[in-house]
Structure 1
Amino acid sequence: MNESLFNLAEHTSRSIFLTGKAGTGKTTFLNDFVSKTRKKHIVVAPTGIAAINAGGVTIHSMFGLPLRTFLPTTERVDSNLANNIADLMHHFKYRKDKLKLLREIEMIIIDEVSMLRADVLDMMDFSLRHVRRNQQKFGGVQMLFIGDLYQLPPVVRDEYVLKQYYSSPFFFDSYALKELPLITLELTTVYRQKDEKFLEILNEIRDGEVGDIDFETLNKRYLPDFEPKDEPYVYLTSHNRMAYEINQKKLAALPGKAHFYDAEIIGNFNENQFPNDEILELKVGAQIMFIRNDASGEKRYFNGKLAEVVEVNEKEISVIIDGEDEIYKLKKETWEQKRYSWGEDKSIQEEVLGSFKQYPIRLAWAVTIHKSQGLTFDRLIIDAGKSFASGQVYVALSRCRTLEGIVLKSKITPDVIFSDRRVSKFQDETNANNRIEEILNTEKYDYSIHKIISRIDCKWILPALQLWHNSANHSKMLDKEKVKFLYHGIKPETEKFSSVCEKFEKIIQQKTRKFISGEEEWSEIEAKAKGAVNFFFTNVNAKIFSPLKEFYAESKGVKGLKQYNEDFRVFLDDLEDYLNGLKDLHLLETQLFDPENDVKVTTKIAKIPSHILTFQLFEEGKTIPEIARDRGLVTETIYGHLAKFADQGLLDLTRIFDKEKIKTFEKEFKKNSSAETLSDWKKILPNDFEFNEIRILMNHYNFRKNS
């Protein structure tokens, strides 16, 4: 199923809710998808710890959302309790690179979606539609939700406020999803548990079918006086305080000296998102568990694997992993606090804001339900008393591989089993497990062709060119003849490419319909798409982008053209994105761009030195006052620029001085070979010779003398 699921997410625009019982491989799929997808994507999560573990960022930090409850209304609400739509909008003033990022993403992945409140998802929807200037839900972005709604639910502080507008706090009751054709896909193979009877009990508890649960078999594990002896057990609690007290009591009871290990925290890392204790206290004999999978490739441990500390000193911790005899020396691991940004290479970058380096273990005589989510244990002690919230009995029991590995300190009774029919109703109505291939085959061709058409579409270039032309014509600092020549050279090409684009769109859609009806081979569509991609890349680059970039090189940095150049740069950036987007185009798995056509496309240009720009204008026939006016510089600066070219004998002096003045200087130059400085020459020459003029003449005749 995983391959079909990947293809459905990758090759269609369907928004998907991926769910599955505990231990079915949701996190494995997430990691695999992120490593393989070509889609521009970000990973977010409702809580800080979930975001760190998923390798993403929190929803609130990504979208700059307020922490208060959101109510989807324009009516006035008590701002102490909630935000309305008007309150929300001022939060969407993002910096330039985040705006670019949010406009470019194709997919947003939300992990641990069971904890995502409906109103938070609606705030995301408002943000994306506003930023992307697209009134489709989520601004047209494909959504991939991952999680198990039968596990930990959303935390709602002001439930009575939320109830005014939302049927439930679950994400699926958001207004945004009411108009989105979301499908639910459920992973069904459980890798954690193999015992069919135990799986049956877990499924019945998960579904809340109290009448079907085999309480008799389950409560055979009720052993109120049990105390672990030879084998390590983990006590699963409902609250942090309980787990902390058990761990500290057990640690204090051990003989020997305690050792303390500080985390290395670099940069910005929010304290409430620390993935482990900032200071680890350990003794020989301490029961610990790993909180990460072994990243070395040896796979010596996994998230939740127990071990016993056998040696500690200032520099090292040695443990024996449960089920092994060999001593293992622990290595520190690094967690990163990230944010997404739009990089200079026009791709989504993960920017590391800070890091947290610590041993990937914690004391494990006891652990809370929340911290156990995603972990796997061999032996557990569970007290499923009244303090267990909705979904926690299922989460607690499903952490263990076997029923025999569980010890119950209190009996499991019907009153601690919760059933939420809203969840089962939503999943039943949207489940598409038996339609994956049907949906994929129906939508993948249309999606892929639509993607090709939208990326190739160059009809936007003509209006952008006209805007540039208008801007250039209104600028007093530009050569209007050059502007006119460039515009009338590029405009016909742009019109031609727009016409070719429209023809391609009609032909490729026609061929796709024929393929679906069996009248056309897919290879013919591939060939047509390849031809179009390479045609547009080569021609738009050579006939539009390159000449415009060359013209921009002349005006870049010129005084008086700042706003014009900023607007021009936006146009060039859009052309650069268009061309580089063509390079990355695939039709399903087939790359369309021919590497032999590859040339580097970038708007970056080496700034032309100011004196060269002056000389170019001089060579075009402009006078010194005209050059000074066009470039927004004083005439003395222009004389200084031209003096550099006089030093190479490149200036026609008759364009600057009258013949008498040149003759006067030449005569004095022959007589006064000892004169070296401008001051020397100023004393020798008549008063009508200015310093700027003397420099040009002196440089010119010195060049001739030394040649």
Structure 2
Amino acid sequence: MDQENQIFQLAYQYVNETESSLYLTGKAGNGKTTFLRHVKSNCTKTLVVVAPTGVAAINAGGMTIHSFFQIPFGTFLPDSSDYQHFGENVINKQTLFSKIKLNSTKKKIIQELELLIIDEVSMLRSDLMDAIDTVLKFVRKSHLPFGGVQVLMIGDLFQLPPVVKDLEKKMLETYYRSPFFFDALVLQSMPVLYLELNKIYRQSEQTFIDLLNEVRHGRLNQNHFSLLNARYFPGKEKTHEQAITLTTHNYKAQQINETELNQLNAPLRTYIGEIKGDFNEKQLPVDLELHLKEGAKVMFIKNDTSHEKRYYNGKLAIIEKLLDDEVWVRDLQSGESMQVDRETWDQISYQLSKTSGQIEEKVIGQYIQYPLRLAWAITIHKSQGLTFEQAIIDAGASFAAGQVYVALSRCTSLDGIILRSTVSASALQVDPRIEGLGKRWYYNIEELKTRLTQDRKGYQLNRIRKLFDLSGLYQGARQIEEMCHQSKTLPKLTEARQMGEDLFHEATTLKKVAEKFTEELNYLLDKAVHSEDIEFIYPRIGKAIHYFINKIFQDMVLPLRNYMQQLESTVKIKKYVTVFQEQELVWSKRIDLMQTASYAGKPFLSVDILLDTRPLQPLNIPSKKLAKGESAKQSLAYFLAGKSIAEIATLRNLAMGTIEGHLAEFILQGELDIDKILQVKEVEEIKEAYARAEKNSTTEMKQLLNDKYTHGQIKCAVNHLIRSKEVELK
């Protein structure tokens, strides 16, 4: 982290040490991407990164908004009963709830979420921001903005705006002042801090920095207009090998690249990318079929991940040699040759750790391809985030606000710019509503520093309040109680139901005690906010924490663990064990949060009284049918270990007759003696019945014996008699 960048440090402190939501902006090359990476690597909160588009999500190391929240594509109208009047691709709150398909894991992730990072937020529309807010409130069962989640919005409104079609614009105008994210209804009801990074990393020439700043705001003075348009050299772009053309439309860039490639007198080679796992083909950063020729101008679209750091995102090169499995390029700046290796892009999802309960990134798919793209031309939109030494800019017919600024700011110097046409004042379009945002949300750095102290204190106090919100613990115990009551397959069912009732009773009692204590807690914390001496809070809160962690551990965690240990190797109960283990983890995590809680750096409990809440090792619960013979072997192992047939049946959640059938097979094979199951006189009695029976039918023999023995006992005896050749097989 740049220790001299005050805004960078201040923004990170707000993200990591407060609950304040903020919009982090800055000119191109100010370090917004660097800040995002720093937060991802260092922030202690449970966080998720999302972005409006697939490419932006891949670059940010996150997921698309629609994928993570399962929000359908279309226009979201926050309060519309006649939404259907507008067409099929329009949804309101009610239809949104009916269409989102969030599984239990995704719901738990949203419930655990503390920080939501939205990258490239300038492309996010106001209605989609409100849809995010609606989903968060719904899943988290909270009326607070974004369901109480802190939101970090990163982007630059002076670059590319959200896309709004004419019909959508008409619908949105009914509810929103503008389509920009900052006019979402949720953001009108909450404070948002506005922080602007102001240290330039991409450019060093002050005149060019000043010129870019004026272009950004659409107010270019006459002197800077002359300087900029002096970069117009008719015809020079044709002979400039080291420059890339930035143009407004995709078809223009594609046409230029195809024309230049076809003019090369060299064989065409195609390199096929490799998709592993689940990777959305619409989000591929490089073509699946990459067509190259020797002499082609290319651009790296990824930073070199090796220690050599030979290239960066946007670096230009010329294809020097192509082989079946080798690509060699010549660096346009240094002239050095290098072999390019295939790079890997990850498609991620989020999951909850089974051991810590924390949100973790999970790679669900990968795309492997050479990190190259034809680079005679590229659209201004796709150039976002790239850095060029030299560029030919064709933005005279710029069709979207901010495009001229994006194009110019890709360059490291004014001398590196070659204009294909002069830039007119009309091309420097800036929406006045964007200019007004700074006035609505802006805080100067001294105000932000002062506010940080108070917000940090409020965040710490709110974390203490949340420690004693036991509604989640109560809901978990209620779920277990209901499952045990409705179950017909759990081993020791009476014991299981009693455990469920006891856990729910204990959770109900603790919830009431916590609610009563919260009244006292609020008084203590409100007093602490306005007091310099806060020592008075430690004894009382420490005593309460000690009471709750011991009650939760002794009366909830341990009874649940004791019952779970009896389920080892039991089949057909996976859904129950999953819930039991999830709740054990949730309750243990609650204890850990309580016993490690602190305020102003001072813990409430001393280290010597902390509980060891590490969860049980995962139980061996077979999820699939065992291979033939394996189930019988498990029954035999339990039997030889001293378990009774009834105990084995309960432990394995199988019928006693099934267990007896398993043992009968081993008697026939000579691996088990009959005297471990039946006495000699009992075997003789069954032998007589076998002699009288017309066929080898346990049902017939059972009737002859007046139901004195079970089918399994009879089968065990008969198998013993057959093996010892005392009877003939009928």
TM-score (structure 1 length as normaliser): 0.81
Corresponding residue of 2:53: 47
Corresponding residue of 2:108: 100
Corresponding residue of 2:257: 247
Does 2:376 correspond to 1:365?
yes
Which region of structure 1 is more displaced relative to structure 2, 211-220 or 636-645?
A: 636-645
Amino acid in structure 2 at the alignment position of 1:139: G
- TM superposition shift of 1:399: 0.9
Superimposed CA distance per residue, residues 8-63 of structure 1 (whole angstroms, 9 cap, x where no aligned partner):
11121111111100000101111111111222222111112111211122112222
- TM superposition shift of 1:597: 4.5
Corresponding residue of 1:68: 74
Does 2:439 correspond to 1:432?
no
Amino acid in structure 1 at the alignment position of 2:100: F
The verdict on how the C-alpha distance between 1:259 and 1:427 changes in structure 2, with shifts beyond 3 A counting, is: same
Does 2:37 correspond to 1:26?
no
Distance in 2, matches of 1:350 and 1:325, equals 40
Corresponding residue of 2:589: 580
Amino acid in structure 1 at the alignment position of 2:119: D
Corresponding residue of 2:615: 601
Distance in 2, matches of 1:419 and 1:680, equals 92
Corresponding residue of 2:558: 546
8 Å contact kept, 2:566–2:651: no
Does 2:392 correspond to 1:378?
no
- TM superposition shift of 1:324: 1.8
Gapped regions of structure 1 (runs ≥ 5): 654-661, 672-677, 702-707
8 Å contact kept, 1:549–1:603: no
Which region of structure 1 is more displaced relative to structure 2, 320-329 or 593-602?
A: 593-602
Does 2:188 correspond to 1:178?
yes
Which region of structure 1 is more displaced relative to structure 2, 277-286 or 151-160?
A: 277-286
Counterpart mapping for 1:250-649 below 5 A: 250-345=260-355, 346-434=357-445, 435-455=447-467, 457-458=469-470, 461=473, 465=477, 495=509, 499=513, 506=520, 510=524, 513-514=527-528, 517-520=531-534, 540-552=552-564, 554=566, 570=579, 573-583=582-592, 587=598, 597-602=611-616, 604-606=618-620, 636-637=657-658
RMSD: 4.6
Which region of structure 1 is more displaced relative to structure 2, 578-587 or 58-67?
A: 578-587
Corresponding residue of 2:725: none
- TM superposition shift of 1:154: 0.6
8 Å contact kept, 2:52–2:65: yes
Amino acid in structure 2 at the alignment position of 1:417: L
Amino acid in structure 1 at the alignment position of 2:556: I
The verdict on how the C-alpha distance between 1:140 and 1:612 changes in structure 2, with shifts beyond 3 A counting, is: farther
Corresponding residue of 1:89: 97
Does 2:29 correspond to 1:15?
no
Amino acid in structure 1 at the alignment position of 2:106: K
Corresponding residue of 1:118: 126
8 Å contact kept, 1:318–1:328: yes
Amino acid in structure 1 at the alignment position of 2:458: D
8 Å contact kept, 2:211–2:220: no
Superimposed CA distance per residue, residues 146-185 of structure 1 (whole angstroms, 9 cap, x where no aligned partner):
1100001111113222222221111111112111211111
Aligned-partner SS, 1:546: helix
The verdict on how the C-alpha distance between 1:426 and 1:588 changes in structure 2, with shifts beyond 3 A counting, is: farther
Which region of structure 1 is more displaced relative to structure 2, 498-507 or 239-248?
A: 498-507
Distance in 2, matches of 1:696 and 1:53, equals 67
Corresponding residue of 1:165: 175
Distance in 2, matches of 1:20 and 1:410, equals 28
The verdict on how the C-alpha distance between 1:529 and 1:195 changes in structure 2, with shifts beyond 3 A counting, is: farther
Percent identity of equivalent pairs: 36
Corresponding residue of 1:57: 63
- TM superposition shift of 1:493: 9.6
Gapped regions of structure 2 (runs ≥ 5): 1-6, 623-630, 689-694, 722-730
Aligned residues: 676
Corresponding residue of 1:658: none
8 Å contact kept, 2:499–2:559: no
- TM superposition shift of 1:548: 2.4
8 Å contact kept, 1:459–1:498: no
Amino acid in structure 2 at the alignment position of 1:99: K
Distance in 2, matches of 1:489 and 1:143, equals 36
Aligned-partner SS, 2:414: coil
- TM superposition shift of 1:370: 0.7
Distance in 1, matches of 2:717 and 2:208, equals 99
Corresponding residue of 1:144: 152
Amino acid in structure 2 at the alignment position of 1:9: V
Corresponding residue of 2:692: none
- TM superposition shift of 1:303: 1.3
- TM superposition shift of 1:397: 0.9
Amino acid in structure 2 at the alignment position of 1:576: L
- TM superposition shift of 1:352: 3.4
Amino acid in structure 2 at the alignment position of 1:303: N
8 Å contact kept, 1:490–1:543: no
